[in-house]
Amino acid sequence: MHILLRGREIANIKQLKVYEAHDGFAGLRKALAVKPSEVIDIVKASGLRGRGGAGFPTGVKWSFIPQNEPIKYVTVNADESETGTFKDREIMEENPYQLIEGSLICAYAIQAKSIYIYLRGEFWDIGDQLDACIEALREKGYVGKNILGSGYDCEVYTHLGAGAYICGEESALLNSLEGYLGQPRVRPPFPAQKGGGLYKEATVVNNVETLANVPYILTAGAEAFKAIGTEQSSGTKIYCVSGHVKKPGNYELSMGTTFRELLYDHAGGPLFDDRPFKAMLPSGGSGPIVPLTDEVLDTPMSYEDAERIGTIIGSASIIIMDETVDMTWVASKVTKFFKHESCGKCTPCREGTYWLDKVIDRILDGRGSPDDVKRIADVAENMAGTTLCALGDFAANPIIHTIRHFPDDFAQHVQT
């Protein structure tokens, strides 16, 4: 069932009249008919958790916004830059009105003055499409003054980034939107607090996929949403599958579907029949790598079950590697990513990613020693937990977990 990728079933849902004909803006109408705090309660009851990676309960996040502050904002995180993630792109390309409707419901719930959609710069054509959608909505009274006669006013704007992974981190995103370097802020104050959000006002920052779920929650009800998925992971999730499978792509499935069903029934199994799966990065470059054993394959894809096998669901960007792939090379690839994307603010991340990359290059070159493998593990362990944002932890993961699970892949490169 598709709650999000409805463009696959309903032709032209990206046109406003088609979207309206399929329950479009029924969720917003329902929201506007009740008190803002009731909308927050509905989203809380649905069990919806943030789809950007952290999995924080969405309704709880909204409830942190102080109600008595006169100015509040919603910022949509459409910076989609995690290695292997391409789900928000499909939502915005094929079902843009649902994202805007979800954002408007969130804005009403916290009584925000305006919404800024922060898109990665490469998505400029999606930005143009969203701008056109916003204008169409303004003409019909869904955006602007006195929305649908409710007395509530809200503006919606798009903003383009310009190529920086770090701007997907919420406080860096806010700095970038304010015209400063996209570097994380010291917290507290958190974005939801006065002084911590956009222009120092209380701000909700939510991922595209998170907000696109909200219209369904309002129309079908929190119980209907909670009935999908597992106890702690409600709803569907878009799993982005890439790498060594026959049919890479986005698959929207109930949370709790097993990795085996996703990879074999939907993604077609190993790309080459004689090359079995070896490993999987279930949350792009930033989550811990796991060997694709039978136990892992039979694990349900939920926040709680992923934790049980020592990894995370995160943004569900599932990168699959077959038996021909050298995990030292994978560690190198992912480290080069984080070295490039480290914003340079915190010393452990800036220097750590630089030195990790240098030493892994030496190992891959055949000039490393067994001590070098210990050295990179040591550097990585000392980066984790020492930085203002999670990038430092993310950059430590590929080293720590590839060495833990695939020590032979490293040993083959170093002379003893």
Partner 1 sequence: MAIIGNPKYKERIQSHLAKYETKRSAVMPLLFIAQEEYGWVNPEGIDEVAHILNMDPTQVKSIAGFYTMYSEKPKGKYWLQVCTDLPCALKGADEFHAWLKDELGVEEGGTSADGMFTVDHVMCLAACDKAPMLQCNFRYVEELDQEKMRELLAKWRGEAVQAANGRN
Q: Residues interacting with partner 1, by CB under 8 A? A: 80-86, 88-89, 120-125, 155, 157, 159-165, 176-182, 199, 240-244, 248-250, 281, 284-285, 317, 319, 321, 325, 330, 333-334, 337, 340-341, 343
Distance CA(13)–CA(7), nearest Å, equals 6
Nearer to partner 1, 46 or 83 (CB): 83
Q: How far is the CB of 385 from partner 1 (least distance, A)?
A: 24
The structure tokens listed for 375 are: 């050295």
**Residue with token string 């020492």:** 386
- In the complex with partner 1, which residue's Cβ is closer, 88 or 305? 88
Minimum distance from CB of 336 to partner 1 (Å)? 8
How many angstroms separate the CA atoms of 208 and 190, rounded?
20
Measured in residues, the chain has a length of: 416
In whole angstroms, the minimum distance from the beta carbon of 250 to partner 1 comes to 7
**Contact, 168 vs 37, CB < 8 A?**
no
Of 253 and 334, CB closest to partner 1:
334
Least distance from C-beta 207 to partner 1, angstroms?
13
Which residues 6+ apart lie within 8 Å of 232 measured at CB? 47, 302, 303, 304
Nearer to partner 1, 124 or 264 (CB): 124
Nearer CB in complex with partner 1: 91/222: 91
Q: How would you classify residue 155: left for phi > 0, otherwise alpha for psi between -120 and 50, otherwise beta?
A: beta
What is the DSSP annotation of 341-384?
H--S-SHHHHHHHHHHHHHHHHHHTT---HHHHHHHHHHHHHHT
Nearer to partner 1, 79 or 305 (CB): 79
- Closest to partner 1 by CB, 295 or 354: 354
Least distance between partner 1 and beta carbon 151 (Å) = 23
**DSSP letter at 192?**
T
Q: Which is nearer to partner 1, 46 or 286 (CB)?
A: 286
In angstroms, what is the minimal distance from the CB of 224 to partner 1?
30
Give which of 213, 231, 201 is closest to 95, Cα–Cα: 213
| Other CB atoms within 10 A of residue 339 CB | 18
**CB of residue 287 to partner 1, shortest distance in Å:** 13
**Least spacing, CB of residue 415 vs partner 1, in Å:** 26
Whether the CB-CB separation of 156 and 136 falls below 8 Å is answered with no
CB 209 within 8 A of CB 91: yes
**Distance from C-alpha of 145 to C-alpha of 274, rounded to nearest angstrom:** 61
My answer on whether omega of the bond before 291 falls inside 30° of 0, hence cis, is: no
